Amino acid sequence: MNANISLRVGLVIIFVLIGFIFPLSFALAVVIAFSVYDDVSKPTSNERQGHNQLKDLTPTSDGWLDRFEAVCESPAETAFLHSMISAFDLKPKNGLLSGEGLKLHLQVPVSSYRLDFLVDNRLVVEIDGAAYHSSPEAVERDKKRDSFLKEIGYEVLRIPAKTALYYPHEIIPLVTSARVLAQLKDNEDKHKEEDRVAEVKDSFRPVKVASALRNGAISVVDGLDKMNVYVAREHERKKKQISSEAKRKAEEYEKDIQAELDGSEELRKQYEEVKKNW
Protein backbone atom coordinates (compact mmCIF):
# COMPACT_ATOMS: atom_id res chain seq x y z
CA MET A 1 0.00 0.00 0.00
CA ASN A 2 1.57 3.33 -1.04
CA ALA A 3 1.77 6.40 1.20
CA ASN A 4 -1.10 8.21 -0.50
CA ILE A 5 -3.52 5.33 0.04
CA SER A 6 -2.33 4.88 3.63
CA LEU A 7 -3.01 8.55 4.31
CA ARG A 8 -6.53 8.31 2.90
CA VAL A 9 -7.27 5.16 4.90
CA GLY A 10 -6.23 7.07 8.02
CA LEU A 11 -8.55 9.93 7.07
CA VAL A 12 -11.43 7.49 6.61
CA ILE A 13 -10.90 6.17 10.15
CA ILE A 14 -10.68 9.69 11.58
CA PHE A 15 -13.84 10.90 9.80
CA VAL A 16 -15.74 7.78 10.91
CA LEU A 17 -14.84 8.52 14.53
CA ILE A 18 -15.77 12.19 14.15
CA GLY A 19 -19.01 11.10 12.50
CA PHE A 20 -20.40 9.92 15.83
CA ILE A 21 -20.31 13.57 16.91
CA PHE A 22 -20.83 15.30 13.54
CA PRO A 23 -22.84 12.92 11.27
CA LEU A 24 -21.84 14.76 8.10
CA SER A 25 -18.32 13.39 8.58
CA PHE A 26 -19.65 9.96 7.61
CA ALA A 27 -20.29 11.30 4.08
CA LEU A 28 -16.65 12.47 3.78
CA ALA A 29 -15.48 9.07 5.01
CA VAL A 30 -17.56 7.32 2.34
CA VAL A 31 -16.21 9.57 -0.45
CA ILE A 32 -12.61 8.97 0.57
CA ALA A 33 -13.22 5.24 1.00
CA PHE A 34 -14.57 5.03 -2.57
CA SER A 35 -11.48 6.82 -3.90
CA VAL A 36 -9.25 4.31 -2.10
CA TYR A 37 -11.26 1.37 -3.45
CA ASP A 38 -11.08 2.78 -6.99
CA ASP A 39 -7.29 3.09 -6.82
CA VAL A 40 -6.78 -0.33 -5.25
CA SER A 41 -9.04 -2.08 -7.78
CA LYS A 42 -7.19 -0.61 -10.76
CA PRO A 43 -4.12 -2.41 -12.11
CA THR A 44 -0.87 -0.95 -10.84
CA SER A 45 1.27 1.08 -13.17
CA ASN A 46 3.83 -1.73 -13.33
CA GLU A 47 1.11 -4.19 -14.26
CA ARG A 48 -0.21 -1.91 -17.00
CA GLN A 49 3.32 -1.35 -18.23
CA GLY A 50 3.95 -5.11 -18.30
CA HIS A 51 0.88 -5.75 -20.43
CA ASN A 52 1.74 -2.90 -22.76
CA GLN A 53 5.18 -4.46 -23.24
CA LEU A 54 3.58 -7.80 -24.12
CA LYS A 55 1.76 -6.15 -27.02
CA ASP A 56 5.08 -5.43 -28.69
CA LEU A 57 6.25 -9.04 -28.56
CA THR A 58 6.39 -11.25 -31.67
CA PRO A 59 7.63 -14.81 -32.24
CA THR A 60 11.00 -13.34 -33.23
CA SER A 61 11.37 -11.24 -30.05
CA ASP A 62 14.25 -12.33 -27.83
CA GLY A 63 13.10 -13.77 -24.52
CA TRP A 64 9.38 -13.43 -25.22
CA LEU A 65 8.63 -16.51 -23.12
CA ASP A 66 10.41 -14.98 -20.13
CA ARG A 67 8.23 -11.88 -20.48
CA PHE A 68 5.03 -13.92 -20.41
CA GLU A 69 6.31 -15.99 -17.50
CA ALA A 70 6.88 -12.77 -15.57
CA VAL A 71 3.15 -12.02 -15.77
CA CYS A 72 2.29 -15.30 -14.04
CA GLU A 73 1.77 -15.00 -10.29
CA SER A 74 2.79 -18.48 -9.15
CA PRO A 75 4.90 -21.46 -10.24
CA ALA A 76 1.66 -23.37 -10.90
CA GLU A 77 0.47 -20.67 -13.33
CA THR A 78 3.86 -20.80 -15.05
CA ALA A 79 3.56 -24.58 -15.36
CA PHE A 80 0.10 -24.22 -16.88
CA LEU A 81 1.44 -21.63 -19.32
CA HIS A 82 4.21 -24.01 -20.45
CA SER A 83 1.72 -26.84 -20.96
CA MET A 84 -0.55 -24.67 -23.11
CA ILE A 85 2.30 -23.27 -25.19
CA SER A 86 3.64 -26.77 -25.84
CA ALA A 87 0.26 -28.36 -26.63
CA PHE A 88 -1.07 -25.65 -28.94
CA ASP A 89 2.19 -24.21 -30.28
CA LEU A 90 1.31 -20.75 -28.96
CA LYS A 91 3.18 -17.67 -30.06
CA PRO A 92 2.91 -14.01 -28.97
CA LYS A 93 0.54 -11.80 -30.95
CA ASN A 94 -0.92 -8.42 -29.90
CA GLY A 95 -0.31 -9.00 -26.20
CA LEU A 96 -1.64 -12.56 -26.04
CA LEU A 97 -0.61 -16.04 -27.13
CA SER A 98 -2.17 -17.54 -30.23
CA GLY A 99 -1.88 -20.78 -32.16
CA GLU A 100 -3.81 -23.72 -33.64
CA GLY A 101 -7.17 -21.98 -33.34
CA LEU A 102 -6.69 -21.03 -29.68
CA LYS A 103 -6.08 -17.68 -28.01
CA LEU A 104 -4.70 -17.40 -24.50
CA HIS A 105 -4.84 -14.18 -22.46
CA LEU A 106 -3.01 -13.75 -19.15
CA GLN A 107 -4.13 -11.80 -16.06
CA VAL A 108 -7.30 -10.38 -17.61
CA PRO A 109 -9.21 -7.71 -15.62
CA VAL A 110 -12.99 -8.27 -15.56
CA SER A 111 -15.01 -5.95 -13.36
CA SER A 112 -13.36 -6.08 -9.92
CA TYR A 113 -11.72 -9.44 -10.65
CA ARG A 114 -8.55 -10.50 -12.41
CA LEU A 115 -8.61 -13.78 -14.30
CA ASP A 116 -5.54 -16.02 -14.27
CA PHE A 117 -6.09 -17.09 -17.89
CA LEU A 118 -8.78 -16.56 -20.52
CA VAL A 119 -9.07 -19.02 -23.40
CA ASP A 120 -10.80 -17.91 -26.63
CA ASN A 121 -12.44 -14.96 -24.83
CA ARG A 122 -14.96 -17.36 -23.27
CA LEU A 123 -13.27 -19.95 -21.01
CA VAL A 124 -11.82 -18.69 -17.74
CA VAL A 125 -9.05 -20.87 -16.29
CA GLU A 126 -8.15 -20.38 -12.63
CA ILE A 127 -5.16 -22.12 -11.07
CA ASP A 128 -6.11 -22.74 -7.44
CA GLY A 129 -3.43 -23.07 -4.80
CA ALA A 130 -4.52 -25.10 -1.78
CA ALA A 131 -3.30 -22.50 0.71
CA TYR A 132 -5.47 -19.75 -0.75
CA HIS A 133 -8.53 -21.64 -2.02
CA SER A 134 -9.22 -24.38 0.56
CA SER A 135 -10.80 -22.48 3.47
CA PRO A 136 -14.62 -22.26 3.70
CA GLU A 137 -14.39 -18.49 3.20
CA ALA A 138 -12.28 -18.96 0.06
CA VAL A 139 -14.65 -21.60 -1.30
CA GLU A 140 -17.61 -19.26 -0.82
CA ARG A 141 -15.67 -16.38 -2.36
CA ASP A 142 -14.74 -18.47 -5.41
CA LYS A 143 -18.36 -19.63 -5.72
CA LYS A 144 -19.62 -16.03 -5.87
CA ARG A 145 -16.89 -15.10 -8.33
CA ASP A 146 -17.73 -18.03 -10.63
CA SER A 147 -21.44 -17.25 -10.43
CA PHE A 148 -20.80 -13.66 -11.48
CA LEU A 149 -18.55 -14.68 -14.37
CA LYS A 150 -21.12 -17.20 -15.64
CA GLU A 151 -23.89 -14.61 -15.45
CA ILE A 152 -21.95 -12.35 -17.84
CA GLY A 153 -21.24 -15.16 -20.31
CA TYR A 154 -18.05 -16.90 -19.24
CA GLU A 155 -17.40 -20.58 -18.49
CA VAL A 156 -15.04 -21.31 -15.60
CA LEU A 157 -12.50 -24.13 -15.25
CA ARG A 158 -10.63 -24.43 -11.95
CA ILE A 159 -7.44 -26.50 -11.96
CA PRO A 160 -5.68 -27.34 -8.68
CA ALA A 161 -2.14 -26.00 -8.51
CA LYS A 162 -0.73 -29.47 -7.78
CA THR A 163 -2.26 -30.75 -11.04
CA ALA A 164 -0.54 -28.00 -13.01
CA LEU A 165 2.76 -28.66 -11.24
CA TYR A 166 2.90 -32.44 -10.95
CA TYR A 167 0.43 -33.82 -13.49
CA PRO A 168 0.76 -31.53 -16.52
CA HIS A 169 -0.40 -34.32 -18.87
CA GLU A 170 -3.90 -33.94 -17.33
CA ILE A 171 -4.19 -30.24 -18.09
CA ILE A 172 -4.79 -30.33 -21.84
CA PRO A 173 -7.69 -32.86 -21.71
CA LEU A 174 -9.34 -30.69 -19.04
CA VAL A 175 -8.94 -27.55 -21.14
CA THR A 176 -10.06 -29.31 -24.32
CA SER A 177 -13.24 -30.64 -22.69
CA ALA A 178 -14.02 -27.24 -21.17
CA ARG A 179 -13.45 -25.55 -24.53
CA VAL A 180 -15.89 -27.92 -26.21
CA LEU A 181 -18.51 -27.22 -23.55
CA ALA A 182 -17.95 -23.47 -23.86
CA GLN A 183 -18.22 -23.70 -27.65
CA LEU A 184 -21.46 -25.68 -27.41
CA LYS A 185 -22.97 -23.09 -25.07
CA ASP A 186 -21.66 -20.32 -27.30
CA ASN A 187 -23.34 -21.94 -30.31
CA GLU A 188 -26.53 -22.41 -28.30
CA ASP A 189 -26.54 -18.73 -27.35
CA LYS A 190 -25.93 -17.76 -30.98
CA HIS A 191 -28.79 -19.98 -32.16
CA LYS A 192 -31.09 -18.46 -29.58
CA GLU A 193 -30.10 -14.98 -30.70
CA GLU A 194 -30.54 -15.93 -34.36
CA ASP A 195 -33.97 -17.37 -33.56
CA ARG A 196 -34.97 -14.15 -31.83
CA VAL A 197 -33.74 -12.07 -34.76
CA ALA A 198 -35.51 -14.38 -37.24
CA GLU A 199 -38.71 -14.15 -35.22
CA VAL A 200 -38.55 -10.36 -35.25
CA LYS A 201 -37.79 -10.29 -38.97
CA ASP A 202 -40.59 -12.76 -39.67
CA SER A 203 -43.05 -10.57 -37.81
CA PHE A 204 -42.25 -7.74 -40.25
CA ARG A 205 -42.78 -9.80 -43.42
CA PRO A 206 -45.45 -8.22 -45.69
CA VAL A 207 -47.70 -11.26 -45.29
CA LYS A 208 -47.39 -11.12 -41.50
CA VAL A 209 -47.92 -7.37 -41.44
CA ALA A 210 -50.95 -7.67 -43.74
CA SER A 211 -52.34 -10.47 -41.59
CA ALA A 212 -51.81 -8.42 -38.44
CA LEU A 213 -53.48 -5.41 -40.03
CA ARG A 214 -56.37 -7.56 -41.26
CA ASN A 215 -56.81 -9.13 -37.83
CA GLY A 216 -56.60 -5.71 -36.29
CA ALA A 217 -59.20 -4.35 -38.71
CA ILE A 218 -61.48 -7.32 -37.97
CA SER A 219 -61.08 -6.68 -34.26
CA VAL A 220 -61.95 -3.02 -34.76
CA VAL A 221 -65.03 -3.88 -36.85
CA ASP A 222 -66.13 -6.46 -34.27
CA GLY A 223 -65.65 -3.89 -31.56
CA LEU A 224 -67.71 -1.31 -33.45
CA ASP A 225 -70.47 -3.87 -34.07
CA LYS A 226 -70.59 -4.74 -30.39
CA MET A 227 -70.66 -1.05 -29.53
CA ASN A 228 -73.53 -0.43 -31.97
CA VAL A 229 -75.51 -3.33 -30.48
CA TYR A 230 -74.90 -1.97 -27.00
CA VAL A 231 -75.93 1.57 -28.03
CA ALA A 232 -79.10 0.23 -29.71
CA ARG A 233 -80.03 -1.78 -26.64
CA GLU A 234 -79.44 1.20 -24.38
CA HIS A 235 -81.51 3.41 -26.66
CA GLU A 236 -84.41 0.91 -26.60
CA ARG A 237 -84.17 0.58 -22.84
CA LYS A 238 -84.23 4.36 -22.38
CA LYS A 239 -87.16 4.63 -24.78
CA LYS A 240 -89.21 2.07 -22.83
CA GLN A 241 -88.28 3.74 -19.59
CA ILE A 242 -89.43 7.17 -20.85
CA SER A 243 -92.65 5.70 -22.28
CA SER A 244 -93.44 3.92 -19.02
CA GLU A 245 -92.78 7.07 -17.01
CA ALA A 246 -94.97 9.15 -19.33
CA LYS A 247 -97.81 6.60 -19.09
CA ARG A 248 -97.58 6.61 -15.30
CA LYS A 249 -97.75 10.40 -15.15
CA ALA A 250 -100.70 10.46 -17.58
CA GLU A 251 -102.60 8.01 -15.40
CA GLU A 252 -101.90 10.09 -12.31
CA TYR A 253 -103.03 13.21 -14.18
CA GLU A 254 -106.30 11.53 -15.28
CA LYS A 255 -106.98 10.46 -11.68
CA ASP A 256 -106.54 14.06 -10.53
CA ILE A 257 -108.93 15.29 -13.26
CA GLN A 258 -111.47 12.62 -12.39
CA ALA A 259 -111.36 13.64 -8.74
CA GLU A 260 -112.10 17.24 -9.69
CA LEU A 261 -114.94 16.20 -12.04
CA ASP A 262 -116.51 14.09 -9.31
CA GLY A 263 -116.61 17.13 -7.08
CA SER A 264 -118.34 19.51 -9.51
CA GLU A 265 -121.31 18.75 -11.75
CA GLU A 266 -120.85 21.98 -13.70
CA LEU A 267 -117.16 21.16 -14.35
CA ARG A 268 -118.15 17.67 -15.47
CA LYS A 269 -120.60 19.07 -18.06
CA GLN A 270 -117.94 21.43 -19.46
CA TYR A 271 -115.39 18.55 -19.60
CA GLU A 272 -117.84 16.32 -21.45
CA GLU A 273 -118.59 19.08 -23.98
CA VAL A 274 -114.92 19.70 -24.70
CA LYS A 275 -114.19 15.99 -24.96
CA LYS A 276 -117.11 15.58 -27.39
CA ASN A 277 -115.85 18.35 -29.69
CA TRP A 278 -112.32 16.76 -29.74
Domain boundaries, the chain: 1-42, 57-192, 207-273
For the domain covering 57-192, report its CATH number.
3.40.960.10
Which 3 state secondary structure label does DSSP give 256? helix
Other Cβ atoms less than 10 A from the Cβ of 188: the count is 10
Bigger pLDDT: 210 vs 83: 83
- Model pLDDT, residue 166: 93
Provide the pLDDT confidence category of residue 194 given band limits of 50, 70 and 90: low
Report the C-alpha gap between 269 and 257 in whole angstroms: 13
**Torsion sign over Cα 200, 149, 47, 13:** positive
Provide the pLDDT confidence category of residue 175 given band limits of 50, 70 and 90: very high
> Within 13 Å and on the Cβ side, how many CA atoms surround 15?
16
Task: Give the tens place of pLDDT for each residue, 28-39.
Answer: 778 777 776 766
Tell me, yes or no, if the pTM score tops 0.75.
no
